[in-house]
């Protein structure tokens, strides 16, 4: 009498992400570095222009007002792009992310609605302000964040998530930026799982605020919270180590949790870690990416 083999235990979404983030056997392709160079120039450039918008000015004013009375503007190690100011990493990420998204001239992904560089680069540059970072490390971290952004969006899936009114740049963006930060700082698997759990509980940002100052702040808040999640987890702060797939976790709350899609997460991550290079766009006009071709046609 034959005995049926037990079904293999499905690896959860968080564990798949942790394994992916921790891999060290990838080599950066020349196309990756060229794409990241273009996105960095574009993102910093539009952030410098966006720094003068009302949204960015008010966020920066609020950050500087948090300095202890009588000490002047807060000081730190992380640059506010386009200025001589230095802030703490989380504060700089908030200001730079808001400025990068303020003019709606930031990057886009043709495959789905998101602005990866507007969240990932403020996070990575803020974290890099306190330690030396090589170009290869930055390439790897950005590619990890880009893959997490797209693969998790697919697993939700994106159409359901966005259809509920969530701003994917802000929600999934927190997970992506946290993943990128964990990769940049070479955090171990347990710490990375907790960082993702912290970021998942911070996720927010509604489409109802499109057209207001709050919309660009979504990108800044996502970057700030990623810096915070990485920093807290690195210090021993804990969260549910399988938050994404847990009942009431990220996939339940923000999408239509389907274990079949979750089972394919690792495969999609491996696809997007290099595939993102063919899925980014630098806008020609300061407007929603969906309007770019219509503007050209006019």
Question: In this structure, what CATH number is given to the domain that contains residue 40?
Answer: 1.10.4100.10
Nearest to 168 by CA among 181, 185, 155: 155
Residue 237 domain flag = yes
Q: What is the pLDDT of residues 132-176, one digit of tens each?
A: 999 999 999 999 999 999 999 999 999 999 999 999 999 999 999
> Is 259 inside any structural domain?
yes
148 falls within a domain: yes
CA–CA separation, 86 vs 50, rounded Å? 17
Total tally of structural domains belonging to the chain: 1
Q: What percent of the chain has pLDDT over 90?
A: 84
User: Which pTM does this prediction carry?
Assistant: 0.94
Does any domain span residue 172? yes
**What pLDDT score was predicted for residue 7?**
39
Q: What's the token pair of residue 233?
A: 């987890």
Percent of the chain exceeding pLDDT 70 equals: 94
Using alpha carbons only, give the angle 108, 120, 261 rounded to the nearest 5 degrees. Answer: 75
The answer to whether position 3 is within a domain reads no
Residue 54: the pLDDT is 98
CA 222/CA 202 separation, integer angstroms: 8
Angle between helices 168-184 and 116-128 (to 10 degrees): 30
pLDDT in tens, 7-39: 345 689 999 999 999 998 877 788 999 999 999
How far is Cα 268 from Cα 265, in angstroms, rounded to an integer? Answer: 5
Residues 6+ apart with CB under 8 A from 212: none
Whether 219 is in a domain gets the answer yes
Domain interval for residue 97: 17-283
The answer to whether residue 118 scores a pLDDT higher than 80 is: yes
Q: Which residue has the higher pLDDT, 72 or 105?
A: 105
In a domain, 151, yes or no: yes
* Residue 151 near residue 168 (C-beta atoms within 8 A): no
Length in residues, the chain:
298
pLDDT of residue 214: 98
Considering the domain boundaries, does residue 72 fall inside one?
A: yes
Judging by DSSP bridges, how do beta strands 86-87 and 78-79 pair with one another?
antiparallel
pLDDT beyond 70 at 129: yes
Q: Residue 74 — pLDDT band, cuts 50, 70, 90? A: low
């Amino acid at each position: 009498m034959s005995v049926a083999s037990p079904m293999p235990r499905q690896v959860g979404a968080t564990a798949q992400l942790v394994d992916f983030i921790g891999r060290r056997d990838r080599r950066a392709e020349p196309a990756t570095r060229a794409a990241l160079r273009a996105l960095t120039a574009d993102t910093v450039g539009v952030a410098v222009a966006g720094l003068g918008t009302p949204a960015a000015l008010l966020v920066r004013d609020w950050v500087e007002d948090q300095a202890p009375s009588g000490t002047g503007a807060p000081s730190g190690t992380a640059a506010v792009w386009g200025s001589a100011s230095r802030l703490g990493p989380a504060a700089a990420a908030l200001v730079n992310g808001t400025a990068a998204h303020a003019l709606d001239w930031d990057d886009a992904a043709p495959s789905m609605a998101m602005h990866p560089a507007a969240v990932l680069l403020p996070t990575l540059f803020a974290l890099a302000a306190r330690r030396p970072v090589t170009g290869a490390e930055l390439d790897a971290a950005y590619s990890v964040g880009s893959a997490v952004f797209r693969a998790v969006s697919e697993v939700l899936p994106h159409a359901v998530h966005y259809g509920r009114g969530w701003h994917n740049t802000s929600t999934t963006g927190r997970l992506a930026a946290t993943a990128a930060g964990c990769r940049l700082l070479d955090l171990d698997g347990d710490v990375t799982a907790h960082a993702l759990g912290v970021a998942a509980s911070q996720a927010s940002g509604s489409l109802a605020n499109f057209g207001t100052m709050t919309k660009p702040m979504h990108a800044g808040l996502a970057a700030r919270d990623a810096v915070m999640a990485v920093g807290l987890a690195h210090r021993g702060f804990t969260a549910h180590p399988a938050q994404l797939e847990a009942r009431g976790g990220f996939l339940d709350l923000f999408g239509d949790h389907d274990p079949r899609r979750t089972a394919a997460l690792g495969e999609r991550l491996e696809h997007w870690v290099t595939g993102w290079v063919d899925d980014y766009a630098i806008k020609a006009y300061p407007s929603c990416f969906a309007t770019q071709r219509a503007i050209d046609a006019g």
